[in-house]
Amino acid sequence: MLIVGPLGLGKTALLSEVRRGAEGFQVFAVTGVEPEHTVRLGGVSRLFGLKPLVLPAGTPVAAAEWVRDRLVAAADSGRPVLCCVDDAHWLDPFSSLVLGMAARRLSGTPVAMVLAGRPEVTELAGDPFAGVDRLWLRGLSRDDASALLAQRAPAGVTDTAQADIVELAEGNPLALVELGAAQPAERLELPADSRYRAAVLRRFRGLSSAARQVVALAVLEERLPADRVLAGHTGAAVDEACTCGLIRIEDGALVPAATLVGVLLHAELSQRERRDAHRALVRVLHPAHDRDRWMWHRAVTREDRLEQRECRDELANAAEALSTAGNVEASSTAWERAAALADRTEVATRWLLNAARDSWSGGRPLRTRTLLRQVRPGIGTRQRALAAALSGEMALRDGSPVTAAQELLAAVTGLAEADHEQAVVAAVLAGEAYCLTGDYAGFRAVAHRAAALRTTNPSPLAALAQDHFAGMLATYEGRHADAVRPLRATVRRAAELDDPLGAILASQAAYTLGDATAVVESATRAVRAAELRGQRALRPWALVYLAMGALLLDRHAAAAAAGAAGLAEATATGQRNCAADHLTILAFLAALRGDRELVLLRLRAADGPIRTHCLARPAALASWALACADLADARPSDALVRLRMSAYDTGGPHLALRVMAAPQVVEAAVPCHQPEAGSRALSTFDEWIGRSSCVPRQALSHRCHALLAVRPGDRMEHFSEAVRLHRSGYGGLEMAKTELLYAHELRRCRRPKQARELLREALAVFSSHEAHPWADRARAELRAAGESVAGGRPGRAALTAQQARIAELVADGATNREIAARLLVSHRTVEHHLRNIFTRLGVRSRTELAALLR
C-alpha cells in the first residue's frame, strides 16, 4: 500500500502505528532523504543495510526480483515481514522503480510493504508505484481537529484562539499542534523551530526564479486566473510551482496549497520579490475587468503620493459597489487595500472595519479577527462601538453569549446617538445572546433599553426590531395577548423590507405566534436574501427557523434538510453555537422517530459548545429530544423527569421549552398517573396556539385533551377531532402517533374494527419514516386488536445482541435480578430492555415471550 498525503497529515505517524502493531514481524525500514535523491539505488541499499548494489544499468526487473526474493527469504524463518518506506518522494528514481515492481510481485507471500509519500510521489515519471493500492490521507474534521488541539495545546490558549488555530490549520495535524504550541496571543504564528515552516520555506527556496515568481503571484493576489499567468509565464514555471506542492490550480485559479502556506510565504517574500510580483500582476490583470485588483498593484508600485491617493479613492468606491452587490469577499479585500493607502487614521480605521464586517458576512471569522486586530487604539467612539458590535456578534455565534451580550451592550451605548439603526441591531443581538443562555431577566433589561432608543422617524429595520422586542418581551412576561400585535407587525414589516436580518426576526416572531406557514415563508426569504447579499454568516441562523417551522408543520424531511444545510453552513463559517442548534434539531428529529442511537450521536457532537459556552437553548432542546426518545422506548416516567429538569438545566426556566414540549409532558404524565402536571402544561400550550392557525399544533392540543379526559365520550371526541385536523394538514409522524393512541382507546372500548383501520394507517406512516419503535408498538396493537400482521411475529432477529441474551434468560426462567447479576448490569437496565423486547416482539408477558422463543 502507498499512503499519500501533503506535509503534516500524519504519514510518518501512521507508519509508526503500523510498525507498533506488527508484533512478531521482521521489519525492514528506510526513509527517503533529499540529499540522496540522485544516488542510484541508494534507497534500496539503505533498506537492507548494504553497500550500494552493483546491478547492470537498465535491469530494474532483476533488481525488483532480487528485492522480492530477499524479503520472502526473510519470511522463511517463520516470522512474517513488514517493509516500511517513508518519504518515498525523496527516493532515487531507480529505487522507486525497483520497489514499485517488487511491491506488485508480493501477492501471496507473507510480506507486507507499506510506503508513504507526498502527492508528488504519484507524479513521478512513469508512475513507478502504479498498481499499488493507495490510501489518500485527508485533513482532520473540524471536530477532530478541535479534540486534538484540546489534548496537545498548552494551558491558557483561549477558546477563540483555538477556533482560529483550527481554521488556519485546515485539518493539518502538524500545523495544528505547532500553532497551538506557540501559545498564540495577539496573532497566530508558528514557533521558530517549526517543521512545517522549515519544509515550506525549503521548497520555496529550491524553486527556479521563474517558479518562485509564479508562487509569489498566487500569494499576493487571491484566486488569480491561471490562464492570465500562463499568458505571461512559461508553462514549465507554472508546472514547477504546482508540482512542488506550494500552490495549486482550483477552478481555473492559482491559489496557495493551504491558507497557512500562503501566510508563511507572504511573510517570507523579500522586498524585491514582492515589488517584482506586484509589477507582474499589473501586467497579468486586466485594467478594466479586474479594475480594483489592478489598481491596488499599480498603486503599490508607484511612488507618487497623488497617484496613490487616486488609487485609494477608486478602491474605496469599488469596495462600496462590490459590497452593495453582495460580493463581500472581493469588497473586504478592496476595503483593506484602500485602508493600507489611507493617510488618515480615522479613514483607515473606518475602512478596516468595513473590511472586517464584509469578511464576517462572507463567513471568514479568522480573517475578520485579523482585520480587527489591525484597528489602532484610540479610535473614536462610533468606530469603537462598531468594532464591539462585530466582535460581540462573532462571540454570539462562536463564543460565550455572556461575553457577546457585554460587547453588544457596549456597542448600543456607543451607537445610540451616532447610528440609531446599528444601535437597535446591536440590541437585538444582545437580546438573542440572553435568550441563548436562558437569561430572561437580561433580555427584559435590554428590551427596555431598546425601547428607550425609539425615535419619531426610525429606519424600517429599526422599527421592525422595536416591534420584535415589544412582542418577545410580552411573551416572556406571560402577556400573550399583548404580544400578538407587535409580533404580527414584525412579520408584516419584514415582508415589505426584504432584509435577511428582518426576515429572521419575522420568522422568530411567527414561531412565537405559532404561525408555522409564516415561519417557513419568512425563514425562506431570509435564506434567499442572505445568499443574494453575500451575508453568508446569517444563513445558519435563518436555517434554524426554517427547520423549526417545518417541524411545526410536521414536515420532517424538510426539517432534516434545513437542519443538515444549517449544520454544514455553520461548520463552514466557524459558528459552533449555531452548529449546536442544528445538531440538537437533528437529534430531536431522530428522537421523534425513536432512533436513540442517532440521538446520542448527534448530542455528543453538540455537547462541547453547549457546555463550554453555557448554551441553554440547545441544552433544553437536547433534553427534550432525550425525553422523546424515552417515550418511544415506553419509558414515560424517565421522560417526565427529564422534561421537568430540562427547563432548569442552565439555572433558569427555559420558557420556550415549557410551552412547546407540552404534548410530550401530557403523554408522559398520563401513564405516570400525574394528570395535573399534564393539565398545567396543556393550559399554557393552548394559550400559545389559541391565536394561531397552526393546524398540526391544534391537532396535538386535541390529542392532549383526549389523553387527559376522564369520560370516554370526551376522549373519543377529542381523538376524532385530532385525527381530522391531522389529515386536513400534513399527515406525518404526529398523525400516526395520534392514531396509535386513539386506536388503543378504541380497543379498550371494544371497537377493534375501527382500531385496526387506524393502526394500519399508523403502521404505514411509521414504516415510511423508519420509526421502528413506533412501528413495533403499532404492530403490537394490531395483534392485540385481532389482526395478523403481514410477515409474521418477529423473532430473535428483531432484537439487539443484549436484548436477545436477556430474552433467552427470561425464557429460561431467570428473574430480572438474576439476569442483572449474570450480565453485570443494573436491575433498572434489565427492566428497560425487557420493555423494549415486549414491544418489538409484540408480546405482553414473560410467558408469551418464552413461548415465542421456544
Mean pLDDT in order along the chain per 10 residues (854 residues): 92 93 92 90 88 61 89 90 94 92 92 93 85 92 86 77 89 92 72 90 93 94 87 85 90 92 93 94 91 92 86 94 94 95 90 96 93 83 94 95 96 92 96 92 93 89 95 88 93 94 96 90 97 95 96 91 96 94 96 93 92 91 94 92 67 65 94 94 87 83 95 94 88 91 91 91 91 90 82 62 84 82 76 85 79 72
Alpha carbon 794 to its chain's center: 38
Looking only at the bridges linking them, the beta strands covering 26-31 and 2-4 are unpaired
**625: three-class secondary structure by DSSP:** helix
Task: Judge whether 708 lies within some domain.
Answer: no
Asked whether residue 350 falls in the same domain as residue 471, the answer is: no
Q: Using alpha carbons, list the distances in angstroms from residue 692 to 515, 688, 697.
A: 6, 8, 9
Task: Judge whether 502 lies within some domain.
Answer: yes
Q: Are 810 and 849 in contact (CB under 8 A)?
A: yes
Please report the pLDDT score of residue 792 as a whole number.
Answer: 45
Largest separation between any pair of C-alpha atoms in the chain: 101
Report the C-alpha gap between 367 and 346 in whole angstroms: 21
Q: Is the dihedral of CA 688, 693, 696, 700 positive or negative?
A: positive
Q: Among the three residues 331, 349, 379, which one is the final residue of a domain in this structure?
A: 379
Asked whether residue 480 falls in the same domain as residue 371, the answer is: no
Instruction: Give the CATH number for residue 99.
Output: 3.40.50
Task: Judge whether 171 lies within some domain.
Answer: no
Strand arrangement of the beta sheet that strand 253-256 belongs to: 224-225, 253-256, 247-250
Asked whether residue 132 falls in the same domain as residue 24, the answer is: yes
Please report the pLDDT score of residue 184 as a whole number.
Answer: 59
Alpha carbon 58 to its chain's center: 54
- For residue 333, the enclosing domain spans 297-379
Task: Judge whether 492 lies within some domain.
Answer: yes
Asked whether residue 131 falls in the same domain as residue 27, the answer is: yes
Q: How many structural domains compose the chain? A: 4
Q: Among the three residues 543, 571, 599, which one is the final residue of a domain in this structure?
A: 571
Task: Judge whether 674 lies within some domain.
Answer: no
Task: Judge whether 808 lies within some domain.
Answer: yes
715, 720, 725, 726 alpha-carbon torsion, rounded to 10°: 90
**28: three-class secondary structure by DSSP:** strand
Q: Which residues of 151-173 are buried (b: 16+ CB within 10 A; e: fewer)?
A: eebeeebebbbbbbbbbbbbbbb
Within 10 A of 22 (CB to CB), how many other CB atoms are there? Answer: 16
Q: What is the CA radius of gyration of the chain?
A: 33
Report the C-alpha gap between 804 and 495 in whole angstroms: 57
Residue written as cell 512545517?
Answer: 196
Report the C-alpha gap between 453 and 421 in whole angstroms: 10
Please report the pLDDT score of residue 364 as a whole number.
Answer: 94
Task: Judge whether 588 lies within some domain.
Answer: no
Q: Among the three residues 519, 544, 571, which one is the final residue of a domain in this structure?
A: 571
Instruction: Give the CATH number for residue 505.
Output: 1.25.40.10
Side chain identity, residue 115 = L
Asked whether residue 371 falls in the same domain as residue 465, the answer is: no
Structure letter (DSSP) for residue 140: P
Alpha carbon 535 to its chain's center: 18
Please report the pLDDT score of residue 648 as a whole number.
Answer: 41
Please report the pLDDT score of residue 57 as a whole number.
Answer: 54
Quick one: cell of 23? Answer: 508484533
Q: Are 7 and 120 in contact (CB under 8 A)?
A: no
Task: Judge whether 481 lies within some domain.
Answer: yes
Q: Give alpha helix (H) positions in 553-651.
A: 556-572, 576-593, 596-612, 616-632, 636-646
